[in-house]
Amino acid sequence: MKKSLLLVFLLILTISLQAQKDTVNYSRPDIHKNAYAEAAGSINIYPVPVRENHFTIKSEKDISFVKITNIIGQDIFRSQYSNPQNNIRIDLDNPQRGMYLVTIVFEDNVRVVKKIMIEQSE
């Protein structure tokens, strides 16, 4: 009886975990699948690691939105650009040391997420 209850519990747990999705696709379906790979390859973020309160994002494509998120999911920076640019300086307000995710959305709605490390300035 205990084994059957355990098996039922594990089955329900497995099904519920598979039903949850970690990612959401915000790009339009008409965009070619290689658009993400092309966009990701054209992004430069410097200096790495970030030691001051600022860094630069440079890309071949025009950037319309940038969001910086800490590793626990809190937004620390968010900016929508009415005039998309391909060279953006990001100024942060006294960021803590750690890993951050930089979400970049281009004019054609392709979304790329990059990781950066922020260290304390010396």
- Long-range contacts (CB closer than 8 Å, 24 or more residues apart) made by 73-80: 76/100
Please tell me the distance from the alpha carbon of residue 54 to that of residue 93, in angstroms, as a whole number.
9
Domain residue extents for the chain: 29-118
Is a pLDDT exceeding 50 seen at residue 19? no
**Length of the chain in terms of residues written:** 122
The model's pTM: 0.69
Can you name the CATH fold of 29-118? Immunoglobulin-like (2.60.40)
Q: What is the pLDDT of residue 4?
A: 72
Q: Is residue 92 within 8 Å of residue 54, measured between CB atoms?
A: yes
- Which residue did the predictor score with more confidence, 121 or 2? 121
pLDDT mean over 92-102: 93
**Cβ pair 37, 110 in contact under 8 A:** no
* Mean pLDDT, all residues of the chain: 82
Cα separation, 47 vs 88, in Å, equals: 13
Residue pLDDT, tens place only, 27-62? 555 555 566 667 667 899 999 999 989 999 999 999
